[in-house]
């Protein structure tokens, strides 16, 4: 369960974009702490995430927003300062493993000054998104987007694998084609390279069928000429 | 070398945010094709990415923006439609391996209608950012942020897979071979499918050279027979 907590947002566009991102990546709850911007204006930027803005829970203070969650993750663009334990941080790609199966609050601070030290101290972990060391400061909603994307990724998108039949046809035609043009034993490498590249590179069954059709046509054209 | 290409952007805020992201993730070049928004207004959203907006190259058409790059990657929130080879797509996390060591254009389309089919066809690969299947449509600058973040993450972790020269030869021979056997316009799909599967699936330069040698031999054999 993921609760997005936005603390004292100052830009309406950011709040709008965040609602849209909540819909893009199916967040469970959106909490807004003491908004410092116009929620009506935000709607202009929410696109089909409007429902998230409309059903967002508006609370008065930080503590209310993090009640009833098992894990509180603060975010900051200021992290890992030598000698400052509070600023030691995790990276977005570590999140999925850490939050698995938990009720989690992902907490994002003000555009101007981020989260206070007190707010970070009340959280369990601090997350930092790496970037240009000279200027890693992301705009608020863009930081939200990256973190939500990284969590979404781990939900496991099972891209369809190509069928065993397609693999065996790719194997057959790769071998047949190479046999038609090979001049020495080393040419076996061409068959292996082509077959492997295709099996790794083909994205789904439809793409596989298209390529098999091409290989077959090449083969037929070549053998007809030879006969 | 990463060139960010933004095609006919309509929202000034997006262009501003994109300049900021270019600075956050150290993009090399920003090209803007025929902007449909106010560049002065965009500056308000660029923060410390202002320099990117000021030195952005403004061009009149798509072709000018993709000149002189070795690999052109189009992006879309409409991907993997059954029966449409052009819409087969890769995921952001596949990018780093594919682009390593190359001069790459990352191409993002209009907020309203994205990239045209013609623009996608002129590109080598199509990238899709996964999200809520009911509404995966990210705002333009948020899509840019996620793609740049994913590339930044992998900095230094990847060795070049295949050279730009190999990519252009794979492109050439895939097209030449399909031209020899194609019987109707729909066969264009075979060229796209073969080229993409090979670019994605080939593991290193040696494998690339082996496959190029095979494609060249097949081509020579077929054309000799035809003459």
Residue B185 lies in a domain: yes
- If one counts the domains in chain B, the total is 2
Is residue A33 within 8 Å of residue A60, measured between CB atoms? yes
Task: Give yes or no: residues B60 and B130 share one domain.
Answer: yes
B8–chain A nearest CA distance, Å: 19
Three-class DSSP category at B133: coil
CA distance B201 to B188: 20
Within this chain, do residues A81 and A177 fall inside the same structural domain, yes or no? no
- Is residue B144 located within the same domain as residue B47? yes
- In the prediction, which pLDDT does A89 show? 85
- Interchain proximity A218–B214, CB inside 8 Å: no
Residue A5: its pLDDT value, please?
98
Place of tokens 């920003």: B30
Instruction: Report residue A104's pLDDT band, with 50, 70 and 90 as the boundaries.
Output: very high
B138 located within any domain: yes
Element (H, E) at B57: strand B57-59
Contact list in B for residue A160 (CB cut-off 8 A) is none
Contacts of B93 in chain A (CB under 8 A): 153
Tell which residue, B136, B30, B55, B128, has the closest CA to residue A47.
B136
Same domain, B185 and B90: no
Residue A225: predicted pLDDT: 63
The answer as to whether B7 is a domain residue is yes
What pLDDT sits at residue B224?
85
Query: Average pLDDT of chain A?
Result: 90
Identity of the residue in B130, B207, B217 whose CB atom sits nearest the CB atom of A193: B207
**Which pLDDT score, from 0 to 100, does residue A158 have?**
40
Q: Within 10 A of A43 (CB to CB), how many other CB atoms are there?
A: 17
How open is the CA angle B147-B152-B155, to the nearest 5 degrees? 135
Which residues of B fall within a CB distance of 8 Å from A147?
none
- Choose one of B91, B122, B153: the last residue of a domain: B153
* Residue B159, domain member (yes or no): no
Per the CB < 8 A criterion, the answer to whether A106 and A21 are in contact is no
Identify the domain boundary among B129, B153, B177: B153
Mean pLDDT of A154-173: 75
Which residues of chain B does A13 touch, with a Cβ-Cβ cutoff of 8 Å? 13
Which of B52, B210, B227 should one mutate to test binding to chain A, selecting the residue with the greatest count of A CBs within 10 A?
B210
pLDDT in the model for residue A159: 46
End-to-end distance of chain B based on CA atoms, in angstroms? 43
Q: Closest Cα of chain B to A87: distance in Å?
A: 20
CB A47 within 8 A of CB A20: yes
Residue B70 in 3-state DSSP? coil
Q: Residue A24: which of B138, B145, B196 has the nearest Cβ? A: B138
What is residue A157's predicted lDDT score, i.e. its pLDDT? Answer: 44
CATH code of the domain covering residue A21: 3.40.1280.10
Q: Say if CB A5 and CB A31 are below 8 A apart.
A: yes
Q: Are residues B82 and B115 both part of a single domain?
A: yes
User: In which region does residue A101 sit, left (phi positive, over 0), alpha (psi from -120 to 50) or beta (all else)?
Assistant: left
Residue range of the domain that includes A183? 164-226
Beta strand B2-7 with B29-33 is parallel
Please give the share of chain A, as a percent, with pLDDT higher than 70. 95
Helices and strands (H and E) in chain B: how many: 10, 6
Contact A190 B213 (CB under 8 A): yes
Please judge whether A149 and B152 are an interchain contact, meaning their C-beta atoms are less than 8 angstroms apart. Answer: no
Residues B114 and B214 in one domain: no
State the Cα–Cα distance between residues A185 and A209, nearest whole angstrom: 29
Q: Tell me the chain A residues in contact with residue B152 when contact means C-beta distances shorter than 8 Å.
A: 130-131
Establish if A147 belongs to a structural domain. yes
ipTM surpasses cut 0.85: no
Positions in chain B short of pLDDT 70? 156-160, 186, 225-227
pLDDT of residue A88: 81
Verify that B80 and B147 share a domain, yes or no.
Answer: yes
Contact check, Cβ <8 Å, A181/B218: yes
pLDDT tens, residue by residue, A1-41? 999 999 999 999 999 999 999 999 999 999 999 999 999 99
Shared domain check, B127 and B77: yes
Q: Are residues A174 and A103 in the same domain?
A: no
With an 8 Å Cβ cutoff, are A203 and B90 in contact? Answer: yes
Say if A112 falls within a structural domain.
Answer: yes
Nearest-Cα distance to chain B for A139, in Å, is 8
Does some domain include residue B186?
A: yes
Per CB-CB distance under 8 Å, the chain A contacts of B218 are 177, 180-181, 218, 222
* Same domain as A132, residue A193: no
Same structural domain, B34 and B125? yes
DSSP category for residue B61: S
DSSP chain A: -EEEEEES---HHHHHHHHHHHHHTT-SEEEEES--S-HHHHGGGTGGGHHHHHTPEEESSHHHHTTT-SEEEEE-SS---TT-GGG--B-GGGHHHHHTTS-EEEEE-BTTTBS-HHHHHHSSEEE-----TT-----HHHHHHHHHHHHHHTT---PPPPPHHHHHHHHHHHHHHHHHH--SGGGHHHHHHHHHHHHHH--SHHHHHHHHHHHHHHHHHHHHHH-
Do the chains contact at B210 and A193, CB–CB below 8 Å? yes
Residues of A in contact with B175 (CB under 8 A): none
User: Looking at residue A220, what is its pLDDT?
Assistant: 93
Q: Return d(Cα A61, Cα A58) in angstroms, integer.
A: 9
Contact (CB<8Å) A142/B21? yes
Crossing angle of helices A140-153/B140-153, nearest 10°?
60
- Tell if the CB–CB gap between A137 and B48 is shorter than 8 Å: yes
Quick one: tokens of A159? 């891209």
Same domain, A139 and A54: yes
B220 assigned to some structural domain: yes
Partners of B28 in the β-ladder: none
Domain boundary among B101, B131, B153: B153
């Amino acid at each position: 369960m993921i609760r997005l907590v936005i603390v004292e947002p100052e830009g309406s566009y950011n709040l709008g974009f965040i609602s849209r991102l909540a819909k893009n990546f199916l967040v469970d709850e959106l909490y807004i702490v003491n908004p410092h911007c116009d929620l009506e204006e935000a709607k202009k930027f929410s696109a089909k995430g409007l429902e998230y803005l409309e059903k967002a829970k508006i609370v008065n203070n930080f503590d209310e927003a993090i009640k009833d969650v098992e894990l509180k993750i603060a975010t900051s663009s200021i992290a890992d300062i030598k000698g400052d334990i509070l600023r030691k941080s995790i990276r977005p790609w570590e999140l999925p493993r850490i939050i698995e199966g938990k009720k989690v609050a992902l907490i994002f601070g003000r555009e101007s000054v981020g989260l206070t030290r007190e707010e970070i101290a009340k959280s369990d972990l601090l997350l930092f998104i790496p970037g240009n060391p000279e200027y890693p400061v992301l705009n608020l909603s863009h930081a939200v987007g990256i973190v939500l994307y990284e969590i979404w990724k781990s939900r496991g998108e099972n891209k369809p694998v190509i069928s065993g039949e397609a693999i065996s046809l790719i194997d057959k035609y790769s071998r047949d084609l190479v046999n038609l043009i090979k001049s020495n034993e080393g040419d076996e490498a061409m068959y292996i390279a082509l077959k492997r590249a295709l099996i790794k590179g083909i994205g789904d069954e439809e793409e596989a069928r298209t390529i098999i059709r091409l290989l077959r046509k090449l083969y037929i054209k070549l053998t007809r000429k030879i006969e």
